[in-house]
Amino acid sequence: MEIVDRKPRKAAGNTMTETEEERLFSAVIAGKDITEIIHTDRGDFTVKYMTFSDLIEVGNIIARRNGGLPANAFSEETERIIEMTAFLDTAIVDYPEWFKRAKEKNPYFSFADIPDDDFIADLYNRGRSFRGGTLAKIRRKGKREDSGTPSEKPVEASMGGGVFEGFSSERGV
């Protein structure tokens, strides 16, 4: 795990000492990103700890990709792909060379352009897992356990049983 300067946003379970908890918490408050490298067979990706403002940005990306339509206007598979790729487009801050070249050729290149759903699901799950593990390290001992945000639950590599399964469209998603 590394603490680095936070990159400006574009518009639109280990036991730790109090000192370690405070160091991570203070770093995030001071505008630093907590990052970790995820090694894959397609190269190394650096994921950052997602703050609430980052998660709000994921929601904004989802809304844009949905064209403002409610989640129930799309198949579960489509909604899962949109949620996973919006998360990755926000959480991943450094990429392998092939991804950088694709972004140079097309500045709008996104994880949504990658045709391997198993790869996307795996990277998404590992990024969510990093966020959950980091959040647990930031929390003070004795505080309540968090069940995480609904979308932090692992996603199977196959496209069945969507992230939004069991959610009501009345939640304003």
Q: Does the pTM exceed 0.85?
A: no
Write the DSSP assignment of the chain as a string of letters. -EEEEPPPPP-------HHHHHHHHHHHHTTEEEEEEEEETTEEEEEE---HHHHHHHHHHHHHHTTT--GGGS-HHHHHHHHHHHHHHHHEEE--HHHHHHHHH-TT--GGG---HHHHHHHHHHHHHHHHHHHHHHSPTTSPP----GGGS---SSS-S-TTTT--GGG--
pLDDT digits (tens, 9 = 90+) for 7-51: 766 544 455 555 777 888 888 888 889 999 999 999 999 999 999
pLDDT recorded at residue 18: 56
- pLDDT tens profile 153-169: 555 544 444 444 444 44
